[in-house]
Structure 1
Amino acid sequence: MKMKQQGFSLIELVIVIVILGLLAATAIPRFLNVTEDAQNASVEGVAGGLATAVGFVRAQWEVDGRRNTSVILDGTSVSLDTRFGFPTGSSDSGNTSVTAMTNQTCQEVFDNVLQSAPRNVIFNEDARDQRYTVKVENGVGGPATGIDGSTVANIDLCVYHQVASLVLDQGNGRPSPVPDLTTAGAKGVTYNPGTGQVLSFSND
């Protein structure tokens, strides 16, 4: 007896190809967004950690009597503005004013209040192999009311940009253009030392 060999018909092959095409069209965009989702999750995690740490500093300041210019957080001395009670730098810098923040004091807040803070660098330095850049935006934090009822205007804002969302100069590793709150595609975290507010942002 002869065995009759059977294969797939042309119609069956076309149907299989169409099904595979439909699966690819729905699955590929999901895989393409995995990196962006991971970046967003990282920013949200840093923002949550920073907000919690800022809250701890404020709570310790309350416990210590509200008028001291620094608190000890996990063995580290953190400076703060006695009008608000939120961190403004390290005790080494001695900055206790929310309207006198610098790139360095914003970096000190990030490094000193976060446990195992992500690698970071000032925005105008080589950011290769770093996770965040640090920059102060002077006077853009708006007003805040202190514990004595007085209003302080033009509070400085600390901005922490995620390096993965920035374009770095291939020659020197610095972000180009200089990142700010409106840089296209940038993601990061802002910290207002007058209100204690920590917010994540994404300029997609």
Structure 2
Amino acid sequence: MKLKQQGFSLIELVIVIVILGLLAATAIPRFLNVTDDAEDASVDGVAGGLATAVSFVRAQWEVDGRLNASVLLDGTSVSLDTRFGYPTGTTNTNATAMNSTRCQEVFDSVLQNAPRNVLANQDASDVRYTVSVLGGAGGSSISIDGITVNNLDLCVYHQVASLVLNPTSGVPTPAPDLTTADAKGVIYNPGTGQVLSFTQTPFTP
């Protein structure tokens, strides 16, 4: 006795293909947003960690009686501006004399296992963040002595995944700032201790 083998009909196949097409049309946009959401979450996580570490430095400075130009944080000496009490590097003690290297020192010295980073004019192919400074862009703040200090600097930490790198040199092109399209990152003001994350540009601190 022969068994009759029967496959799917053309109509059944068409129905399956239509259903798969509908599922794909609704699911693909969600998967496309996963990368952006993950990058945003990463930036927010780094910003939260940096803000916590900055507050630890300030708290230790308060405990020390506001007398020292540096504090010891997890065995690492962190310098700060005695007018404000927020970290400014490993040797620098002036929130209006920051540069990219000093901003990098803040990032690396206050964060445990800081994300790999380089200065914004270096090869960023194998790191997660670039570091730059915006001189005088941080506005003003009132010191503990009641004196207004103007032209505070801003440290900017750009997420490399949101930048365009030169395919040959690996250097971000153009040099990233707060107007770079689609750039994401973290801003730190050493005069106010404020840490902000940004996931949309242009950004106004």
TM-score (norm 1): 0.93
Residue deviations 1:11-36 (CA, integer Å, cap 9, x gap): 33332222111100011112222222
Aligned equivalent of 1:201: 198
Aligned equivalent of 1:17: 17
Q: How many percent of aligned residue pairs carry the same amino acid?
A: 76
1:170 aligns with 2:156: no
Q: Gapped runs of 5+ residues in structure 1?
A: none
Distance across 2 between alignment mates of 1:3 and 1:81: 88
Report matched runs for 1:32-51 at 5 Å: 32-51=32-51
Distance across 2 between alignment mates of 1:111 and 1:180: 20
Residue deviations 1:120-146 (CA, integer Å, cap 9, x gap): 111111111111100000011111111
Kindly report the root-mean-square deviation, in angstroms, between the aligned alpha carbons of the 2 structures. Answer: 1.5
Helix, strand or coil: the match of 1:57?
Answer: helix
1:105 alignment partner, one of 89, 102, 119 = 102
Deviation at 1:172, TM superposition (A): 1.2
Distance across 1 between alignment mates of 2:172 and 2:57: 31
1:154 aligns with 2:151: yes
Residue deviations 1:87-110 (CA, integer Å, cap 9, x gap): 0000xxx31111100111100000
Aligned equivalent of 1:70: 70
Answer yes or no: is the 8 Å Cα contact 1:43–1:200 preserved in 2: yes
TM-score (norm 2): 0.92
Letter in 1 for 2:130: T
Aligned equivalent of 1:140: 137
Letter in 2 for 1:124: N
Q: Gapped runs of 5+ residues in structure 2?
A: none
Deviation at 1:63, TM superposition (A): 0.2
